[in-house]
Amino acid sequence: MQALSPTLAAQAHRSQELLDAVRRDAPLVQCLTNFVSMNYAANALLAVGASPAMVHAVEEAPEFARLSGAVVINIGTLSAPWLDSMLLTAGAAGEAGIPWVLDPVAHHATAFRRDAVARLLDLRPAIIRGNASEIIALAGGRSAGKGVDAGNAVAQAEQSASAIAQARGSVVAVTGEVDFVTDGIRSARIAGGSALMPRVTATGCALSATVGAFAAMSPGDPYAAAVAALSCFALAGARAGAVAEGPGSFAWRFLDALASLEADSLTRESPLR
């Protein structure tokens, strides 16, 4: 294994500390996420050691945000009532100093989604997690995405991610074959995972939820939170992919790998590049 630079070694050590913290404190993560991902995202949060709450009704979600360690907003199955709740909840989280994560699923596909994401961005998410096509489009570029599927490589989105981070003051995580995370100043690439991950629905949504768990433990440094969450998924994905027979067995093997991931593996086997 290639030796890490001092900067990446420090980031890997911080990731180890954050995984230990998540498992120690079991942060409450409120997810306003899509119907497709609710079950798998909740199971991923439980596997990593966090406590999921799929609370989205406008009558209670903003109030509940103030009780949470972090909030995750995913627009996968967007509707007008859900958008109202998302906007109020993000606002409540911001007022309370609670970090929140935005997953702008297929935001470029329709005018309704584009408007929704523009309004959510104005509420200053701590972290934005998307695929390469979503991030390119979010920066105003022309993406090759098809619906929720990426049509661009992560490397093509790195400049867009940096531009968004600098303009918005948010950490941007671009996920794909080799992930890229930046806060506009620092950056890291994270290798690993499995080719089976895109063939299991809600894997990306579960990652966004898990980013929220780490953000809850690192509210002053969302960059470290994103790096830690993506590192966990990279290692667990590689382990599950090595023994899975296909996407069906990968789905449950991945949850097992995430649950059994040793915190010190984030330094011993760091996927940071």
Rg (Cα) of the chain, in Å, rounded? 17
Report the C-alpha gap between 17 and 35 in whole angstroms.
Answer: 32
Report the C-alpha gap between 87 and 102 in whole angstroms.
Answer: 11
Report the C-alpha gap between 214 and 20 in whole angstroms.
Answer: 10
Is residue 209 a known part of a binding site? no
Is residue 175 a known part of a binding site? yes
Give every CB contact of residue 204 below 8 A, 6+ residues apart in sequence: 103, 129, 131, 175
Dihedral sign from CA coordinates of 213, 217, 223, 228: negative
Report the C-alpha gap between 73 and 87 in whole angstroms.
Answer: 9
Strands 171-175 and 127-131 turn out to be parallel
- Residues that constitute the known binding site for substrate: 54, 202
- Residues that constitute the known binding site for ATP: 129, 175
- Residues that constitute the known binding site: 54, 129, 175, 202
